[in-house]
Amino acid sequence: MRIAIVGSGALGLFYGAKLAKAGHDVRFLLRRDYEVIMAKGLTVHSVEGDFHLDKVQGFRSPAEIGVVELVVVGLKTFANDRFGELITPLVGQETLILTLQNGLGNEELLAELFGAERILGGVAYLCSNRGEPGVIHHLSQGRIAIGNYSSRDPRRVEPIAEVFRTAGVDCRVVADLVRVRWEKLVWNIPFNGICALAQKPVDALLNHNRTRQLILQMMVEVIVAANAQGLSEDIDTALAEQMVVFSRSLGPYKPSMQIDREEGRPLELAFIFGNPLRLAAAKGVVMPRVEELYALLELGEKSGENF
């Protein structure tokens, strides 16, 4: 399959490398890693086994990539205003667009630009970081859940899931895409947010009783808000404790938002915090602890922009 990776960060490079290793025609839209990757290839240090791609199809512009069958969007959500310029040259009559971005609202923006019928969404349960240019460190997890944006019909989604499976990625098709997006927010909101604010990794938060309890309380707030959204099945509040138990295995892992703040990049506040809070409020649900964390994170943004 001819695939374009738009957003070649830790997520895009990891999944793109896996797909290319499996023999798919993968074309990366590259920025800061372009020179190194074109000269030396792409290296993945992975808990599943290290590998190196000697030759990578890297491009500086989407026009150079041309029309593809599948666009995988791994952009940070603060770059969503560039959807039109980055994706339009890649889209033909049969092109599907799969966003694996964090938060809520990505599919809606893509549907407005390119039509709901071609939009797929998904969540990636992946712990990976970028190393030096051209190097990815895959620390844990890697499975994907994907679904149809415009309907709950799995027939169009299953062939895409199979493409990922051929690359050794555990990929399942879900009928309720909204539900799995909220499920990931149960982890993303407290851990990404508090790690970024405190500049402490996951294990430090869990080893401190007060922050561990705060994480659990925020998780329950997110679950209550999610269950007000008309999901196909409610999310059990027991998920909060399960996620905390799982997160202990991550050790000193730094979530992406913590790294973004350390490196002076914008945070994905609008889609991970703002949109969930807005949707919760529309259903009469308040998330006071999440709202406070959002306010504190927003205060630290250099732009001072209110999302």
- Domain annotation covers residue 304: no
pLDDT band at 304 (very low <50, low <70, confident <90, very high): very low
- Residue at a domain's end among 122, 145, 175: 175
Same domain assignment for residues 19 and 72: yes
Pairing of the two strands 119-130 and 91-99: parallel
- Domain annotation covers residue 39: yes
Same domain assignment for residues 53 and 77: yes
For residue 286, give the CATH number of its domain: 1.10.1040.10
Same domain assignment for residues 189 and 157: no
Same domain assignment for residues 169 and 189: no
From 174, 116, 118, 117, select the one nearest 144 (Cα to Cα): 174
Q: What's the confidence (pLDDT) of residue 287?
A: 98
CA angle 134–137–141, rounded 5-degree value:
135
Instruction: Output the CA–CA distances (angstroms, integers) from residue 86 to 66, 74, 83, in the order listed.
Output: 11, 12, 5
- Domain annotation covers residue 45: yes
Structural domain boundaries, residue 57: 2-175
Catalytic residues, by residue number, are 184
Mean predicted confidence (pLDDT) in 165-192: 96
Beta strands in 119-277 (DSSP E): 119-130, 135-148, 171-173
Q: What's the confidence (pLDDT) of residue 302?
A: 65
- Domain annotation covers residue 306: no
d(CA 206, CA 101): 26
Which residues 6+ apart lie within 8 Å of 170 measured at CB? 142, 143, 144
pTM over 0.85: yes
For residue 66, give the CATH number of its domain: 3.40.50.720
Domain count, the chain: 2
- Domain annotation covers residue 212: yes
Tens of pLDDT along 198-242? 999 999 999 999 999 999 999 999 999 999 999 999 999 999 999
Same domain assignment for residues 84 and 166: yes
pLDDT at 133 over 60: yes
Query: Which amino acid, 102?
Result: N
Q: What's the confidence (pLDDT) of residue 67?
A: 98
Tens of pLDDT along 10-60? 999 999 999 999 999 999 999 989 999 999 999 999 999 999 999 999 999
Same domain assignment for residues 38 and 20: yes
- Domain annotation covers residue 267: yes
Mean predicted confidence (pLDDT) in 55-80: 97
- Domain annotation covers residue 305: no
- Domain annotation covers residue 307: no
Same domain assignment for residues 171 and 190: no
Same domain assignment for residues 120 and 163: yes
- Residue at a domain's end among 122, 152, 175: 175
Same domain assignment for residues 159 and 208: no
- Residue at a domain's end among 113, 140, 175: 175
Do the Cβ atoms of 116 and 131 come closer than 8 Å? no
Same domain assignment for residues 212 and 276: yes
Q: What percent of the chain has pLDDT over 90?
A: 92
Same domain assignment for residues 17 and 161: yes
Burial of 68 (0-12, 13-18, 19+ CB in 10 A): buried
Do the Cβ atoms of 193 and 273 come closer than 8 Å? yes
Mean predicted lDDT score pLDDT of the chain? 95
Same domain assignment for residues 30 and 120: yes
